[in-house]
């Protein structure tokens, strides 16, 4: 393609509302343009990338035996009423009335529609399992659309839904989808992690998120240095320390700590590590009473873990100053477990502390040298209530945890019978009886993958596309071609030969300064660039540089195609 | 693909609401399923066809130099207010409010959005011309969605929009799009006609519709037996008769015609042809007065032509009985031009009549032997106000007109500055002055093309896909394979070889009766079928039949691939 026929829409200015680098670069490189809050036009360069991503997703879904369908964007409310989501779904669900006053919504997902399809098309266990997917536009009326297409209102998603007779069959398709996702993100050239997303009611492997690792990611992910274990930090289990609790060597003493409330202040004031301090938090319990949560001073409470516990109010709510005063007789900052008459839940790590410091339930006073079983009763209720930290043992027993940030681009989920039961999607089983199907669902945010790829792959000059997503493989840049017939002829000839060799080339035939060409091509992130100049031609040489290189390489003109084949493994 | 892995969704019953054959066959063949009025799910077999159509459209648009973009389904009202269409567009425009109460619509077309895009991206005449296209979901809230996907509410359209400095450049792109459309529908294997859609204000070739010819088509198209001329019958010009008016040979006489009102009744009562009768219609004029429209008895009034004329009210409105009585002194059915004191507009053919019959402006009375210039004044206003009929001279002077029915699947249109002016989409011209761009737009109803293809290509057994649209090229049908290991081995081997030879094969490995296989494959319209049976194998033979053939052909197993290559020209 020639830039004269495929105009670039690069711009110099970074839009003021673009907070993250992918948003900035997608605008600057001319991939998208904002139409309204959370609504984007995709420009020609962006569409090429979008189609490359779609192509890979489609191929791998087909390879995994999924069947492509296409369901409407506009969905009738009746089916959502059947599933119960018409009432449950908040204002993220965009609703509209047709000319006859009937209610519809714009699909944020398609569970209702696919369940309707399946209950009509699938009559017998013999037709199962089956896995339908589509690549379709979705709409979610986000309260605050932001980060460009990373969190837009209209977006493109690949969503798949599988139907089964039993959990075993579901698990098989789930595993197959897990592998397909692995293949997709690998082919896309992304550094990603499948992350255990839920260890809850359904079972061990009921849900995985696929995250593209990037510093700007919204989610923190804990993964093992040794094994495949990875989980959202919120969901990663913190194991109990394996070493036995240290001996009680210090005496219990009461120390004045005037005005020292936070763990940081206490540890600094008493010149001890924060790990030596016990943190006591009062939260609301199931009834009007309060509950104490006890943690090591250097650990953070994990709200999600805590609010799942019996006796703790959900959502997690901190006790008020008045409640603290009534329960502990002091201000927050001086609470401690000694003589505290409320139910206590002790974190696994806190239960292993010895000779620790805690509040004395008296303003401006702490205890030091505190020991469980000596100065207060042994903990009766020990739970995992903290956030994991870097260096924690991996929950699978292999290696320790590293924490990285990730962007969720895919999610696979064992739905069970939530929709099929509500909508009575049943089939005849082997005994001729009706049986509700069990379901899985599998999503990939196609537009989001592109933003995530940029978050992970860029430098200060622009995007660095992985090969599979690059809108063009090779940029062919003749320097001041319009001043030299010889150069023009050589460039045209090389363009022809590159195309014949099967390369997807962007031939910059604009009458612009070399520096302008370079910065455009770096901004839009073409993986390989070839520069032709009059001087080089004198010696039969061209300059080659990969987008990831910092220097040019002189390559003989007659070897450049062979060189490209080598570096692209084509 | 194996039917065990790619299940067919064929059904026997024709849905009761399916009025036309494409709708019936799309349901029966399992291409689509109705979700709600005008909303359809596309099943796997349908998606394959949809993608084949999209692929061809995309390739030809790219070949024609158009640039693919993607604009949102959901569009902000502000731009529609700028163009004026927010008020103009009726209830077909589906409107919704977002969670903040801002108004949006679902795009029925994307003129506003592309004009917004162009006015931001295009700053100089140097960037022109440019032609953007997309393949995107549209929504039109049809008052009565019907005929399946032929007139659905949600549908997929390829829409392109070009921008230019002048009409000459617009005409060039328009011509290029004309050619691209020609290529697209030719590659799709359809019998189609580009039809002149408007001869109005903008210019000679300002708008063409592309029609797939089919008996069930909603539009009647007139086309020349000799030339490329084709136009919607509503818009085809009826030329004046070339032969001179016959001599006045009969005497003017008044004939009693009791109760004979219609042309049919008169001609039968007086035993003359309807072409010998003059039809006089009274319609409302610009003011409260009435106007008489005079036509040959065997011609029909063309409302669109008539209402465009000066002095005729638009929309065309017939005079009431009271107005007729007041103007002509008789009932409708007895009106005639002799002594009629209202303005008269005489059709070109009517002006060439001689010795004709017309109403006498007196109930139950007609005149016979009437002649212009003798019994009444020569016509002063002669216009083209009739519908063309089969056998009329072609307006381009070449051949005569044939009338066929067509389904509009594409439309190309010179928009001019309608949107660019309203939305101030201007660029700097060569003199550094702002100049409003001129625009063209070019649509293809992708989903509709598929229905139209079926309307044109089917028999009582099912669909007969043109090669380019067929979901599979070859159906491989082993008869009772599950009873014969030898047959199974041969079928598997042939399946492998066909795939290796590059054929897209549907291998029916279901355990079903041969007749069931045949009827399924005929219903879904696979162009080529190979039947393997034990008996044939004894002689090393297979049966081949094209979907259009009425008989099987015995072909040696080892020559079937060569045979297929010949018949598919692959």
Residue B453 has pLDDT above 70, yes or no: yes
Q: How far is A341 from chain B (nearest CA, A)?
A: 47
CA separation for the pair A31, A458 (Å, rounded):
15
Q: How many residues does chain B have?
A: 570
Q: Please list, in sequence order, all residues whose beta carbon lies within 8 angstroms of the beta carbon of residue B489, skipping any fewer than 6 positions away.
A: none
Q: What is this model's ipTM?
A: 0.88
Ramachandran angles phi, psi of A261, nearest 5°: -110, -45
pLDDT band for B199, please (50, 70, 90 cuts).
very low
Q: Taking a C-beta distance cutoff of 8 angstroms, is the pair B7, B45 a contact?
A: no
From chain B, the residues in CB contact with A139 under 8 A are 73-74
- Is the pLDDT at A200 greater than 70, yes or no? no
Choice among A215-219, A244-248, B30-34, B366-370 with the minimum mean pLDDT? A215-219
CA distance linking residue A390 with residue A222, whole number of Å: 8
Query: How confident is the model over A94-130, as pLDDT tens digits?
Result: 999 999 999 999 999 999 999 999 999 999 999 999 9
A530-554: pLDDT as tens digits: 999 999 999 999 999 999 999 999 9
Residue A185 has pLDDT above 50, yes or no: yes
* Average of per-residue pLDDT across A496-507: 97
| Residues 29 through 48 of chain A touching chain B, CB cutoff 8 Å | 33, 35-36, 39-44, 46-48
Test A42 with B139 for CB contact under 8 angstroms.
Answer: no
Distances (CA, A) of A223 to A141, A361, B54, B103: 33, 39, 43, 45
Q: How high is the pLDDT of residue B200?
A: 46
Interval A503-524 mean pLDDT? 96
Predicted confidence at residue B202, as pLDDT, reads 41
> Does residue B201 surpass a pLDDT of 50?
no
Rounded Cα gap, residues A219 and A237, in angstroms: 16
Chain B residues with CB under 8 Å of A154 CB are 72-74
Q: Which residues of B touch A511 (CB under 8 A)?
A: none
* Nearest-by-Cβ selection for B68 from A44, A67, A127: A44
Contacts of B143 in chain A (CB under 8 A): 99
**Which pLDDT score, from 0 to 100, does residue B393 have?**
95
Which range (A464-478, B76-90, B229-243) has the least confidence? B229-243
Nearest chain B residue to A76, by CA: B36
**pLDDT score of B205:** 54
Residue A148 has pLDDT above 60, yes or no: yes
The band of A488, judged by pLDDT with boundaries at 50, 70 and 90, is very high
pLDDT at A201: 42
- Per-residue pLDDT at A275: 95
Contact residues, chain A, for B81 at CB < 8 Å: none
Quickly state the pLDDT bin for B198 (edges 50, 70, 90): low
Run of H or E including B207: strand B207-213
Q: Could you tell me the CA-to-CA distances from B423 to A128, A346, B76, B112, B426 in Å, in that order?
A: 54, 66, 14, 8, 9
- Minimal Cα distance from A9: which residue of B? B121
User: What contacts B85, CB < 8 A, 6 or more positions away?
Assistant: B93, B112
* B residues 91-150 closer than 8 Å to A (CB): 91-92, 94-96, 98-99, 104, 106, 113, 116-117, 120-121, 127, 130, 132, 137, 139, 141, 143
* Residue B117 with chain A: CB contacts under 8 Å: 33, 41
| Position B204 confidence tier, pLDDT thresholds 50, 70, 90 | very low
* pLDDT for residue A522: 97
Residue of A nearest to B152 (CA): A72
Cα→Cα distances A32→A10, A134, A148, B71, B321, Å: 10, 23, 9, 10, 62
Confidence grade of residue B77 (pLDDT, cut at 50, 70, 90): very high
Residues of A whose CB is below 8 A from B98:
94, 141, 153
Q: Which residues in A lie closer than 8 A to residue B76 (C-beta atoms)?
A: 35-36, 39
Identify all chain B residues contacting A132, using CB atoms and an 8 Å cutoff.
Answer: 44
Residues from chain A contacting residue B132 (CB–CB below 8 Å): 44
Closest Cβ–Cβ partner in B6, B104, B137 for A137: B137
What is the mean predicted confidence (pLDDT) over A375-379? Answer: 96
Mean pLDDT across the stretch A364-377? 96
B:1-20 residues touching chain A, CB 8 A cutoff? 5-7, 9
Which of A7, A132, A139 comes nearest B127 by C-beta? A7
Mean pLDDT of B322-327: 95
B327 neighbors B281 (Cβ within 8 angstroms): no
Residues B338, B294: contact at Cβ < 8 Å?
Answer: no
Give the model's confidence band at B234: pLDDT under 50 very low, under 70 low, under 90 confident, else very high: confident
Residue B10: which pLDDT band, with cuts at 50, 70 and 90?
A: very high
Residue B314's pLDDT band (boundaries 50, 70, 90)? confident
Rounded Cα distance between A313 and A304, Å, is: 11
B117 and A68 within 8 Å at the Cβ level: the answer is no
* Residue of A358, A394, A388, A354 whose CA lies nearest to A373: A354
Residue A205's pLDDT band, with cuts at 50, 70 and 90, is low
Q: A450 pLDDT band (50/70/90 cuts)?
A: very high
Give the pLDDT band of residue B180 (cuts 50, 70, 90): very high
Q: Do A96 and B96 touch (CB under 8 A)?
A: yes
**How does residue A15 score in pLDDT terms, banded at 50, 70 and 90?**
confident
Average pLDDT over residues B371-389: 96
Least confident of A56-60, A219-223, B39-43, B454-458: A219-223
Q: Which residue out of B5, B13, B44 would a mutagenesis test of the A interface target, given it has the greatest number of A Cβ atoms within 10 Å? A: B44
d(CA A412, CA A197): 9
Dist CA B273 CA A118 (whole Å): 62
CB contact under 8 A, A99 and B141: yes
Task: Give the per-residue pLDDT at B454.
Answer: 98
Residue B371 has pLDDT above 90, yes or no: yes
Can you state the angle between helices A167-187 and A44-63, rounded to 10 degrees? Answer: 140
Answer yes or no: is pLDDT of A42 > 90. yes
B504 contacts on A by Cβ (under 8 Å) = none
Suggest the residue from B69, B149, B176 to mutate for an interface test with chain A (most A CBs closer than 10 A).
B69
**Phi and psi (nearest 5°) for A401?**
-90, 140
User: Which chain A residues in 151-170 lie under 8 Å from chain B, judged by CB atoms?
Assistant: 153-154
Q: Which of residues 314-353 of B touch A (CB under 8 A)?
A: none
CB contact under 8 A, B120 and A33: yes
Give the per-residue pLDDT at A38.
Answer: 97
The mean pLDDT value for A401-405 works out to 93
pLDDT at A68 over 50: yes
Model confidence at B392: pLDDT above 70: yes
Best probe of the B interface among A30, A44, A59, A159, by most B CBs < 10 A, is A44
3-state secondary structure of A524: helix
Residue of B6, B41, B52, B102 to mutate when probing chain A, most A C-beta within 10 A:
B41
| A154 contacts B74? CB cut-off 8 A | yes
Q: Which residues contact B96 (CB under 8 A, 6 or more apart)?
A: A94, A95, A96, A106, B74, B103, B104, B105, B106
With the C-alpha atoms ordered B110, B111, B116, B117, is the resulting torsion angle positive or negative?
positive
User: In this complex, do B98 and A42 lie within 8 Å of one another by their Cβ atoms?
Assistant: no
Binary contact (B42, A96; C-beta < 8 A):
no
Which residue in B40, B69, B76 is closest to A42 by CB distance? B69
Mean local confidence (pLDDT), A193-210: 70
The confidence band for B287, taking pLDDT boundaries of 50, 70 and 90, is: confident
Scan for tokens 């009338």, then name that residue. B403
Segment B8-37 mean pLDDT: 94
Would the CB atoms of A69 and B42 count as touching at under 8 Å?
A: yes
Report the b/e string of B39-74 with b at 16+ CB within 10 A.
Answer: bbbbbbbbbbbbbbbbebbbebbeebebbbbbbbbb
Q: How many contacts (CB atoms, under 8 Å) link A and B?
A: 131
Per-position DSSP letters for B467-495, written without gaps between them: TTT-S-SEEEEETTGGG-HHHHHHHHHHH
Residues in chain A within 8 Å Cβ distance of B5: 65
């Amino acid at each position: 393609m020639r830039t004269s026929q495929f105009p670039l829409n690069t711009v110099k200015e970074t839009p003021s509302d673009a907070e993250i680098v992918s948003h900035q670069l997608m605008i600057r490189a001319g991939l998208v343009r904002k139409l309204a809050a959370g609504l984007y036009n995709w420009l020609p360069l962006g569409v090429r990338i979008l189609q490359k991503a779609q192509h890979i997703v489609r191929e791998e879904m087909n390879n995994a035996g999924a069947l492509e369908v296409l369901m409407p964007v506009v969905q009738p409310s009746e089916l959502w009423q059947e599933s119960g989501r018409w009432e449950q779904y908040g204002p993220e669900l965009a609703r509209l009335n047709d000319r006859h006053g009937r209610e519809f919504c714009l699909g944020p997902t398609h569970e209702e529609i696919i369940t309707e399809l399946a209950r009509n098309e699938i009559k017998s266990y013999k037709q199962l399992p089956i896995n339908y997917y589509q690549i379709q536009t979705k709409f979610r009326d986000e309260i605050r659309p932001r980060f460009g297409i990373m969190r837009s209102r209209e977006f493109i998603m690949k969503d798949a839904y599988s139907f089964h007779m039993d959990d075993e069959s579901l698990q098989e398709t789930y595993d197959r989808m897990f592998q397909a996702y692995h293949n997709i993100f690998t082919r896309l050239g992304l550094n990603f992690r499948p992350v255990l997303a839920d260890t809850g009611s359904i079972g061990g492997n009921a849900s995985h998120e696929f995250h593209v690792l990037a510093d700007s990611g919204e989610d923190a992910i804990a993964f093992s240095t040794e094994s495949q274990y990875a989980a959202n930090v919120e969901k990663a289990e913190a194991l109990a320390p394996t070493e036995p609790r240290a001996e009680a060597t210090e005496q219990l003493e009461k120390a004045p700590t005037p005005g020292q409330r936070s763990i940081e202040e206490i540890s600094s004031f008493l010149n001890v590590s924060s790990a030596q301090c016990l943190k006591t938090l009062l939260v609301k319990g199931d009834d009007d009473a309060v509950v104490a949560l006890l943690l090591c001073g250097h650990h953070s409470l994990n709200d999600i873990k805590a609010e799942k516990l019996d006796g703790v109010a959900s959502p997690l709510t901190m006790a008020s100053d008045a409640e603290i005063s009534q329960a502990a007789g002091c201000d927050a900052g001086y609470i401690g477990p000694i003589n505290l008459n409320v139910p206590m839940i002790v974190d696994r790590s806190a239960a292993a502390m010895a000779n620790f410091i805690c509040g004395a339930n008296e303003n401006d006073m702490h205890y030091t040298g505190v020991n469980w079983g000596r100065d207060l009763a042994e903990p009766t209720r020990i739970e995992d209530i903290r956030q994991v930290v870097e260096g924690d043992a991996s929950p699978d027993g292999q290696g320790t945890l590293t924490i990285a940030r990730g962007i969720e681009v895919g999610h696979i989920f064992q739905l069970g019978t939530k929709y099929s039961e509500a909508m009575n999607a049943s089939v005849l089983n082997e005994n001729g009886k009706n049986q509700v199907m069990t379901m899985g669902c599998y999503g990939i945010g196609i537009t989001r993958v592109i933003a995530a790829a940029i978050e992970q792959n860029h430098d200060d000059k622009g995007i660095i596309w992985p090969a599979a997503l690059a809108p063009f493989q090779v940029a062919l840049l003749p320097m001041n071609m319009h001043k030299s017939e010889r150069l023009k002829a050589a460039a045209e000839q090389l363009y022809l030969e590159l195309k014949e060799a099967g390369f997807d080339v962007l031939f910059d035939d604009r009458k612009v300064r070399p520096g302008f060409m370079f910065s455009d091509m770096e901004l839009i992130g073409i993986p390989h660039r070839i520069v032709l100049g009059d001087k080089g031609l004198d010696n039969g040489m061209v300059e080659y540089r990969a987008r990831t290189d910092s220097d040019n390489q002189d390559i003989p003109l007659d070897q450049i195609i062979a060189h490209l084949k080598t570096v692209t493994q084509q």
